[in-house]
Structure 1
Amino acid sequence: MFRTLDRPGTGRVLLTLLMLAAPSLALAQGPVLTLDNALQSAQANNPELAAARWGIDIAEGDRRQAGVLPNPELSWEVEDTRNGSQTTTVSVSQMFELGGKRGARLSVAGQDAQLAGLELERQRYALRAEVIGAYQAAVQAQDGLQLARQSLDLSERALRVVQGRVKAGSASPVEATRAQVQLSEVRLELGRAEQALTVTYQQLAAATGAPTATFSRVDGVGSEDPDLPSRTQLMQRLEQTPDMRLARVQIDQRDAALDLARTQRIPDLTVSVGSQYSETERERVNVVGVSLPIPLFDRNQGNVLAAARRADQARDQRNGAELRLRSEVIQALAQWRTAAQEVEDFDRSILPSAQQAVDAATRGFERGKFAFLDVLDAQRTLVAARLQYLQAQAQRSEARVRLERIFGDLSLASR
């Protein structure tokens, strides 16, 4: 994730600023996971996305069923079961839907199909954001482990210096005890950093659809956050986001459901044609019947009212979604801007100054000009600055993930 530059203050120079006397331990060798590979693996293997894809076929099945005509009914009836006096009737009945019920059902099913497609698109955006967030967390955990190892090198160096001065009689043994305590604390931090790296690797593997992490490290090159997007451009594209399109289609779907409920008030016509045979008169006659329910009590008024209120609810939900998304975009941009400024300040001045303070305090202690407490204070300041730097990076990545979840690829959304 970091590049070594010859000139401080340009680009990402953290690794240069934190170089210590003892060389850093190399990361474990093995398969390296890139961000592109992680995204491709997630699209192909993530079970939640695979489940969302089935929604398209489910909606297609519902659409087909909505257009199917009612089946005819075959009936057989016997009057007077005594032999020689029976009357047998065989008829076929067909119900004819009136009031445009079939077309209304197809309209509802069509809106459901659009909802399934938009839900899948939103799931893809959410998965992309999840993978990017997990990947950035893994990169930052790697950096945290690297910094913990460098802090360990720094503490070991300080302990060697103190032990040398104690042996020469120019420092108190208490200083050596303090240096040993500092070294123990740094070793604990190193253990926590190693545990955090394992956890982030597993979270990234789960996001890509793998049960365990098969990689030994992630490649930080190319995973850097893009430039801060323009608020104006993002707001202009807000209506095209899956969340807003989904909210609009939900309104259309509720309106179609209201139309369907209204068509249910119109009764359906049933026509029957059959043949009747009487054993008493030994005669066969044709039978024709028509039936139509009388909408005296049940006019589907309750379902119409509920459908109308659901349509109103969908409109309010759409307005709420727009308000929520606008607020989310403003907050994420503010978080991104603040974190990016903090990262720049750390790169340009804070970390170089903290490193210089450690070097100066260590040299002064070696020459007997400073107490070891001054060295410890400078070391703790540097370690705290490193942690704050990683936290600022994490805040910037979190803001990016929040926007990626809404807009998808920000390089495309900001065009």
Structure 2
Amino acid sequence: MLFFNRCHARRLMALALAGWALASHAQQRLSAEQAVALALSQPHVRQDLDAEVDLARSEVLAARTWDNPVLEFSEERGDDGPQGASRESSTLLSQTFELGGRRGLRTEAARLGVIAAEGEAEYKRMRLRAGVLRAYSAAVAAERRADVQARAAEGLGDLASVAGKRRAAGDLSGYESRRIAQASVQARARRAQADAEATAARASLAGWIGDAALTAQLDADPPLPELPSTAASGEIRTAELDVLDARRTQARAAARAERRPALPLTVGIGRKRIEEGGVRDDVALLEVGVPLPLFDRNQAGRVRTAAEAERAEAQYQRALLQAHSHRAAAFEQARLLSASARQLLDDALPEAARLTTIARASFAEGELDLVGLLDAYDAEAELTDRALEQQTRALDALIELQLLSPLTIPTHDPSR
């Protein structure tokens, strides 16, 4: 009997674990950071980020690669003359060498382009993270509003039944009974609207992380990153400035390379054989060719790269001018809104829910009038909207503050 009970218990435990596994699989919990990681792991996101860096690396490869050598072969045959048939053939192998240092400068500019592309890819990750956090926060906030409206609809629905009984007993006027029935209908309509907005917010989040957003269990409260201890002081560095500085450095290097005079030198070596009247003579060939810069002196390349360098410098200076004031404003806004949102979410909202519960019980017992009951429901809904709005604004400020932080990867040449 003991053996039977143990087996029975094990089977029940196995069934319970299997049921728990199925339930957790059906609605897996998904935090904000997990949503960001899931978005960054999407194949198209990785391809997009890697493609920019691979394109920059291809420029390095193109700048380093020598031109292919040229192999030429020619043969000439003459008619039979007094001394017999003549034949002349030659084989020439030539290679172009670029002297003057432009090739090395172009390679250096391309290598700086890889550093800039890596910085831009990291900045893209930061902005993608910001987009996912905003979408996740919107989904959590929408479901929080839907929960409040659901509780209001259920509570007012129950109270409408109580109001009907109190009216029949002569304890409640007909107007108050009809008014609470009307409030119940309005609450159900607001609940339907809130549910639709929550579904739309889930669909928007799914656009970032896939279909997992449609069924996953999200956090109870919207995400709110920690505020930095103090505002940054001293040297102004932001992610955007790091990227623009890397592009500025690359543009300067490209302009320096195009200003360097090019000295292409083509050297060819080969052999020439002459046969005439039964006599054969072999001759060694050496050819040297230098283009004369009469028309094309790389004027277009110099003007183009100089303009790109000026544009990169202007973009950097404009961003630098705005960075300090933007960061100070974002820090102060994030500090104030974060404190207010945390207080509302942690203290005010639970207290409002408790007051609504007390008001509902008091109305059912005849201790509170209809105005006080509806005021409690309206106050909870209004406070929920205000808290979630403050949280959204605080999150925007914190995300802006993160985007105004330096990149986590170097955007300068480590060899210098």
What TM-score results when the alignment is normalised by the length of structure 1?
0.77
Q: Distance in 1 between matches of 2:67 and 2:266?
A: 11
2:228 counterpart residue number: 229
1:65 counterpart residue number: 62
Q: How do 1:81-100 residues align onto structure 2 when only pairs under 5 Å count?
A: 84-100=85-101
1:228-260 alpha-carbon deviations (Å, 9 max, x no partner): 335532x55751x43222111111111111122
Do structure 1's residue 267 and structure 2's residue 267 form an aligned pair? no
Secondary structure of 2:296's aligned partner: coil
1:285 counterpart residue number: 283
1:264-314 alpha-carbon deviations (Å, 9 max, x no partner): x42311122222333446533333222111112221123212211211211
Secondary structure of 1:217's aligned partner: coil
Q: How do 1:188-227 residues align onto structure 2 when only pairs under 5 Å count?
A: 188-208=189-209, 210-213=210-213, 215-220=215-220, 224-227=223-226
Larger radius of gyration: 2
2:310 counterpart residue number: 312
1:397 counterpart residue number: 395
RMSD between aligned residues: 3.5
Structure 2 CA distance for partners of 1:115 and 1:77, relative to 1, 3 Å? same
Q: Distance in 1 between matches of 2:319 and 2:303?
A: 24
Structure 2 CA distance for partners of 1:31 and 1:350, relative to 1, 3 Å? closer
1:118-137 alpha-carbon deviations (Å, 9 max, x no partner): 12221222233233323323
Secondary structure of 1:407's aligned partner: coil
2:22 counterpart residue number: none
Which segments of 5 or more consecutive residues in structure 1 lack a partner in the other structure?
A: 1-27, 411-415
Shift of 1:97: 0.5
1:363-390 alpha-carbon deviations (Å, 9 max, x no partner): 47965885x4554345334322222222
Q: Distance in 1 between matches of 2:214 and 2:363?
A: 47
Q: Which amino acid aligns with 1:267?
A: L
Shift of 1:78: 3.8
1:293-347 alpha-carbon deviations (Å, 9 max, x no partner): 1112221123212211211211111112223444443443344244335436646
Which segments of 5 or more consecutive residues in structure 2 lack a partner in the other structure?
A: 1-24, 409-416
1:243 counterpart residue number: 240
Identify the range of structure 1 (299-308 vs 348-357) with the bigger mean alpha-carbon deviation.
Answer: 348-357
Q: Distance in 2 between matches of 1:389 and 1:173?
A: 36
2:163 counterpart residue number: 162
2:251 counterpart residue number: 254
Secondary structure of 2:295's aligned partner: coil
1:145 counterpart residue number: 146
Does the 8 Å CA contact 2:159/2:360 hold for their aligned counterparts? no
Q: Distance in 2 between matches of 1:369 and 1:206?
A: 47
Identify the range of structure 1 (210-219 vs 247-256) with the bigger mean alpha-carbon deviation.
Answer: 210-219
Structure 2 CA distance for partners of 1:369 and 1:245, relative to 1, 3 Å? closer
Q: Which amino acid aligns with 1:390?
A: L
Secondary structure of 1:318's aligned partner: helix
Do structure 1's residue 55 and structure 2's residue 52 form an aligned pair? yes
Identity of aligned residues (%): 25
Does the 8 Å CA contact 2:264/2:291 hold for their aligned counterparts? yes
